[in-house]
Structure 1
């Protein structure tokens, strides 16, 4: 079957489809995200994704310099020329990822698992192929195709007379980058990335056998460690190792021929600073694990031990701030966040935690400054929530509602808090937005009013009024106001008597239940 022709026929409603050849494999495929769009997607999402994944490692800039050197050697011989970038992230989880347009990152947690420059080249070459072969772009195209097919189905169903009912802390566009980082590649894409990545290794002067040793090590680690060390959540979640990949790599290496740089000593020398600092990061990981268990004394002790080993690491100071904030000591937290910001002024985390600490300490001006800076680096629900509180306190209702609404889009505790605040502010003016009503007859023919709370907050003092309307929808007669007793929880409904006695069917059709007001239960 001609795949391009089939898919183009499937989504005839669009005029953006085009068939082309994959720039790496040469295979025919549907393409309607242009190269310029790919590059733009990568540029827009690369910075917030790096923030969300730990930020760049600033205490050892030589690591990024080294990784970029190796990456650019490989990029120079790739089949597709893109504005490739290579960054090292301050994250203990072993992982590497690529975005459309050639934006690539590797975590320090993976660097410590590699044994040679050839293995590093194998990782980077693999990620280069994901970008060059449009794997990220194709994932977006598949999503668009799915939406197009769904739209076509809905249109067809409507024509056929069938009724269709279509039912984090990072916010908005920041979530797109997170999805790309966590993207799970298919078997064929992984095998292609291995094969062509090894080809780039050979072209750049590396021994492609490095990719064999790397995969063999990953298969062994997946069996021996399980999830210890974060592999299942990181690299293995998106790039699952397998004996098949090892065997395919052996075939590719034999085809490419032996020889080339392995660079074991070179690699050890270039990452020596990270190797020396690893005990400090081990203590930091122990501290974060203790924080998750709310073992604050253990967390503080481990963070201080990490700091004694690597005092210039801002993330350690930030963690000490988090410990104090978690123990409701915001004033004690502020100096830790200040030091973290001083050491790493381009990472959102310390601004966010510090902004919350400043807010809780009563310093609203500094809180607003830091929270806004955190939002510039990575929009999050907590920052939007606290900035909404600040706007509300100064009487800027429009800004507060906008910020609460943004935060409420997050499925997090802060999202729920923001949703409640939004409802509380908006409820007095738009009660009908949050309360659904209807009327029906009971078995005796009496009118019963059904009232449902569609807000995310418990409501009380709910008042409604039965109203008869004419053919033009104008009120011609009102009944007595009705009050719902007690509190109505989110999603719950009650039925109360309308106090109207019996009505004719015509009167019932003309009956509307007006929502007069409600309050958020405290």
Structure 2
């Protein structure tokens, strides 16, 4: 049976349940899932697509990945949450973090570059954990703000609505995660719950104030690296005042930083050149300068040869520059590095289609569908 965009979107975004307890003109009519197993399944199925559209995860940054997961587990213990929490480091230099239903999260390396203390970082993780715990993501889906993180990848990889495969159009992996804006009541609740979580986990709550003030300053200055986070988590005077009030309820004590935090900052700094090359390659691709983009990507892969997200970008660029057969090889390399990821199969299907091999393209589509169905 032919796999359609609608099929996979529905496969990743099913809803059921009862009324959301948050009472504002929107959230008072939101349907939420109260069964943790359904939230977990939903998050697991969305996770590979969310990661791909955010920039892809960085698998070679093990120190940072382990550290982030240690922090989130420390927060999870205080939350008494039924979710299997997991964080992946995302290959994007902008300041952003996000949480899916059921405990799956992404943190951009740009956020870690920006925070000055561990407490600031934990304040963001606690805030995102609160969104997931309070089922805010489920509520946004009901209104179509988050209509399926896989949508754009699925539409192009399966149906190719933008034209023939192999056209000079990037399929935009890692360019535009489909996140809608949280409501003000969601943000205020996540701020309150997040501060409580970090205090109970032993962190200094003043980190939450410092982080919000930093974001407010970046927003006022029109800083582009902060726009992704500010687009989904708008800063307001009311929010900042509410955070200050919440923090004032707790003693000014707790962990501010740690040697592990400094090690993580250093791991990213040592790879800053390669990460910057990836960012520049994406920019060159957007400007349709595919020759330059491919050169930049090759330079990044020389020192980061096992990063599947960079191999995916390389395959995209090759298809866009009408080098479909070479693109297949890069897509196969990406798949070999992450064989259980359905997104790699979707990209491989696209590359085969661009090369005119419809049989292999269909086989890759079927494998993508099978892998997606296994995410439960």
When the two structures are superposed, what TM-score results if normalisation uses the length of structure 2?
0.75
Matched residue, 2:106: 105
Distance in 2 separating the partners of 1:242 and 1:256: 22
Q: Shift in Å at residue 312 of structure 1? A: 2.5
Matched residue, 1:35: 34
Q: Is the 8 A contact 1:330 1:357 kept in 2?
A: yes
Q: Shift in Å at residue 299 of structure 1? A: 0.9
Q: Shift in Å at residue 309 of structure 1? A: 3.3
Q: Shift in Å at residue 208 of structure 1? A: 0.4
Q: Is the 8 A contact 2:309 2:334 kept in 1?
A: yes
Q: Shift in Å at residue 257 of structure 1? A: 1.1
Matched residue, 1:87: 87
Q: Shift in Å at residue 213 of structure 1? A: 0.9
Matched residue, 1:204: 201
Q: Shift in Å at residue 203 of structure 1? A: 0.7
Distance in 1 separating the partners of 2:74 and 2:327: 44
Matched, 1:247 2:234: no
SS in 1 for 2:245: helix
Between the two proteins, the alignment pairs up a number of residues equal to 327
| Structure that is richer in strand per residue | 1
Matched residue, 1:169: 152
Matched residue, 1:486: none
Shift in CA distance, 334/217, structure 1 to aligned 2, threshold 3 Å:
same
Distance in 1 separating the partners of 2:177 and 2:330: 32
Matched, 1:287 2:290: no
Q: Shift in Å at residue 105 of structure 1? A: 2.6
Matched residue, 1:65: 66
- Pick from 151, 173, 184: which aligns with 1:187? 184
Shift in CA distance, 370/62, structure 1 to aligned 2, threshold 3 Å:
farther
Q: Is the 8 A contact 1:116 1:266 kept in 2?
A: no
Shift in CA distance, 348/32, structure 1 to aligned 2, threshold 3 Å:
closer
Matched residue, 1:329: 323
Distance in 2 separating the partners of 1:351 and 1:101: 24
SS in 1 for 2:86: strand
Deviations 1:254-294 (A, max 9, x none): 21110110115431213432222222111111111111111
Per chain length, whose mean CA-contact separation is higher, i.e. which structure has more relative contact order (CA < 8 Å, sep 6+)? 2
SS in 2 for 1:77: helix
Distance in 2 separating the partners of 1:98 and 1:29: 22
Matched residue, 1:53: 54
Matched, 1:302 2:296: yes
Q: Is the 8 A contact 1:317 1:340 kept in 2?
A: yes
SS in 2 for 1:72: helix
Q: Shift in Å at residue 76 of structure 1? A: 1.4
Distance in 2 separating the partners of 1:369 and 1:20: 42
Deviations 1:128-150 (A, max 9, x none): 2112223234445678xxxxxxx
When the two structures are superposed, what TM-score results if normalisation uses the length of structure 1?
0.55
Deviations 1:8-42 (A, max 9, x none): xxxxxxxx9967867xxxxx977864521444443
Consecutive unaligned residues of structure 2, counting only runs of 5 or more, are 1-15, 145-150, 158-175
Distance in 2 separating the partners of 1:205 and 1:181: 34
| Alignment RMSD | 3.4
Distance in 2 separating the partners of 1:317 and 1:99: 25
